[in-house]
Amino acid sequence: MLSQKLLAIIQDGFPLVERPYKALAEMLNVSEQEVFDEVEKMCVSGVIRRIGGVYDSKKLGFISRLCAGKVPALSLDFSAEPHSQTPMEKFATVVMSEPAITHNYIRSHEYNVWFTVIAENESAIQTVVDRVCAQTDLHDVHVLTATKKYKINTVMSLDERRKTKDERGESAPALRHSEDQVPRLSDNRRLEESSNFLGKLTDSDKSRIHIACDDIPHTLTPFKDWGVSCDELREDLAAKRMRRFGAILRHQDAGFPCNAMVCFSLDERRKTKDERGECCGDACIPP
């Protein structure tokens, strides 16, 4: 199906050219309008959440922390108003209004809420956590620092998600943004934890990044209509300021309804720390 072929390409390789749908059409031997209509259909149906940039917050001068905490699952306050929010509902409302929190999940564990905070420094991270605690029943919070990253990217295949790599055969052709194409993330997944801040952002940088983190205009010339230079976006990729530019999916609507976070206590005697991390990063378990 055309939709599946497109998703194999555009999740981490949406063309950064003036007419991206024309470039995709030439790759797939179909018309520009067919490609555009198919992508639009996936946007309307909810499979594609947005098409845009995913930036490395550390390269922009920010830090991120994964936080684990506890919120009472049920309210035991029988004096509360009948239609008042439960502690978990209140927590969700507060977190959803907090711009520094990018991800938030309820998990089936004693520590039942897990969320990610991005801010300028440790003090700002703690300020966000303290503010959420003050407004909700969140308590016993652990702020966890990543010491090394091995994998941060997932590319979903709708039609072949249960097949092994050998069964799938040759993958879709990679789309080259330029002659010195930066590697696609799926080919370069192990990333060292880095504090390499690329320098102070100009007002032009900030404007471009703010725009690129949104959804592209739904037109045949989205970058022109955005008012964003494709050359500058390619420069962001080459400098690794941007991790990828592509379609971000709603995994539930794309046929992957389950989401789990797994914590391992790995045997120190069997492998080095890097070997254990790479082993987990290489894991490819079909849903």
Which pLDDT does position 90 carry in this prediction?
A: 94
CA distance 243 to 250: 19
Residue 163 in this model has a pLDDT that exceeds 50: no
Q: Count of CB atoms within 10 A of residue 121's CB?
A: 11
Burial of 287 (0-12, 13-18, 19+ CB in 10 A): exposed
Buried b (16+ CB within 10 A) or exposed e, 227-239: ebebeebbebbee
Q: Where are the domains of the chain?
A: 2-53+153-249, 63-144
What is the average pLDDT value for the chain, to the nearest integer? 80
- Return the DSSP state at 170: S
More confident residue, 15 or 250: 15
pTM summary value: 0.68
Condensed to tens digits (0 to 9), the pLDDT of residues 94-108 reads 999 999 998 898 988
Q: Which residues contact 59 (CB under 8 A, 6 or more apart)?
A: 194, 196, 197, 198, 239, 240, 241
Angle at 262 between CA 259 and CA 264, to 5 degrees: 170
Condensed to tens digits (0 to 9), the pLDDT of residues 135-160 reads 999 999 999 998 877 766 666 665 54
**What topology is assigned to 63-144 in CATH?**
Alpha-Beta Plaits (3.30.70)
CATH of domain 2-53+153-249: 1.10.10.2890
Residue 190 in this model has a pLDDT that exceeds 60: no
Region 200-221: mean pLDDT is 93
Q: Count of CB atoms within 10 A of residue 285's CB?
A: 4
Which pLDDT does position 68 carry in this prediction?
A: 96
Q: Count of CB atoms within 10 A of residue 8's CB?
A: 20
CA distance 159 to 263: 29
Which pLDDT does position 271 carry in this prediction?
A: 60
CA distance 107 to 24: 39
Condensed to tens digits (0 to 9), the pLDDT of residues 59-77 reads 888 999 999 999 998 644 5
